[in-house]
Amino acid sequence: MLKRTSLFGEHQKLGARLVDFGGWELPVQYAGIIDEHLNCRMNAGIFDVSHMGEIHVQGADSGSYLDFLVSNDVKNMSVGQAIYSVMCNLNGGAVDDLVIYRRAFDRFLVVVNASNTEKDFNHMVTVYNEYQYQWGDLQVTNESARYSQIAIQGPKSRSILSKITETALEKVKTYWFSEGVVLNNIPAIFARTGYTGEDGFEIYIDWNSGPEVWRALMEAGQTDGLRPCGLGARDTLRLEMKYPLYGNELTDETLPLEAGLGWVVKLNKADFIGRDRILEASQRGLNRKLIGFKLLEKGIPRHGYLIYNEEGTQRIGEVTSGSQSPSLNRAIGIGYVDIDSSKIGTKLTIEIRHNKYSAEVVATPFYKRPYAIS
């Protein structure tokens, strides 16, 4: 049996095409991926992301524990701040990428990828058990069943959301959050930590309130062009930003530095799991790198397709994600290649269904929004 979010009935009413995504029955599209994608870029889109995992970490030692668990700097976070990070294994590989919200000095919300929730929670408990002598006051609990999560993204998202809450959304800066209420009486967390490259918010509410808040947002956004978006548009939106997707760009064997995530790896910290392996790779030099590329002729690159040198004679890597970009109206992709082939302007060949297509390494993100987030 596939798991369903609290919003499953809303998706049925809207005629969504539902698919199996990591054991969840979720909408892949409503009106169509291209329409949903472009509307999110121009107006606003609403996404059901209630399948994501939510893990509570609390206690006086919670900051020290998380600082050891992940690659980014947790100890120096302010209350109300969020950070993106990678949780690594002893070999430096990515157990998962995640977002950490500091709700109080001794209380954190850790949001992880849906398909990794159980794996991540078990990893976190294992780390605690193996190093528990370091932390006397600490509780780690999987609270995923308590939350519905709705994302509203796009240039009109803040004005739409402000119609159903009195929270001062304009004061919530990127990668910060505020706690308040929605619809006058439903407690909510409003986080500005999106996955589309647009302005927007993630709204965390209790599980049972999901449908009521979804319907209220849909009604509030009627005159602003708000439309529901499925997993298909979510994927093309994040691809245009070169945001990694776990299972594609990140795996248990992927070093964060290879994926271009050095900015969330604080090697100057005293210690964190995987630090020694990542530091060694940093000092030795990387063998491969995640790059963005555009096709120079018609074709669609997909996950798993092989990447060759310009002449098509030597394999140098593999595509991790690819699609036709709705915003740019051209085929784009990301993938790992040998470090010597990662420079912008390098010509490549992508093998698509036994045929070879010319491509070129380009600067990323592929898409840059035409407005500033204030």
Residue 293 CB partners (closer than 8 Å, separation 6+): 301, 307, 332, 333, 334, 335, 348, 350, 359, 360, 361, 362
pLDDT at 35: 98
pLDDT at 113: 97
**Structure token digits, residue 52:** 């994501």
Identify the domain boundary among 286, 305, 329.
Answer: 286
Residue 143 lies in a domain: yes
The DSSP annotation for 186-247 comes to: EEEEEE---SSSSSEEEEEEEGGGHHHHHHHHHHHTGGGTEEE--HHHHHHHHHHTT---BT
pLDDT at 275: 98
pTM, two decimal places: 0.97
Kindly state whether residues 61 and 194 are assigned to the same domain.
Answer: yes
The number of folded domains in the chain is 2
Percent of the chain with pLDDT over 90: 97
Kindly state whether residues 225 and 327 are assigned to the same domain.
Answer: no
- Checking if the pLDDT of 132 tops 90, the result is no
Kindly state whether residues 145 and 223 are assigned to the same domain.
Answer: yes
199: left (phi over 0), alpha (psi -120 to 50) or beta: beta
- Checking if the pLDDT of 247 tops 90, the result is yes
- For 205-222, the pLDDT digits (tens) are 999 999 999 999 999 999
Residue 370 lies in a domain: no
Kindly state whether residues 30 and 148 are assigned to the same domain.
Answer: yes
Kindly state whether residues 340 and 196 are assigned to the same domain.
Answer: no
Q: Give the span between the Cα atoms of 190 and 177, in whole angstroms.
A: 5
Identify the domain boundary among 286, 302, 330.
Answer: 286
Kindly state whether residues 63 and 20 are assigned to the same domain.
Answer: yes
Q: Mean pLDDT, the chain, as a whole number?
A: 97
Identify the domain boundary among 255, 286, 317.
Answer: 286
Q: Residue 319 belongs to what domain range?
A: 287-362
Confidence class of residue 246 from pLDDT cuts 50, 70 and 90?
Answer: very high
pLDDT at 374: 78
Kindly state whether residues 267 and 295 are assigned to the same domain.
Answer: no
pLDDT at 190: 98
Average pLDDT over residues 109-115: 97
- For 53-82, the pLDDT digits (tens) are 999 999 999 999 999 999 999 999 999 999
pLDDT at 358: 98
Average pLDDT over residues 92-120: 98
Average pLDDT over residues 183-207: 97
- For 157-188, the pLDDT digits (tens) are 999 999 999 999 999 999 999 999 999 999 99
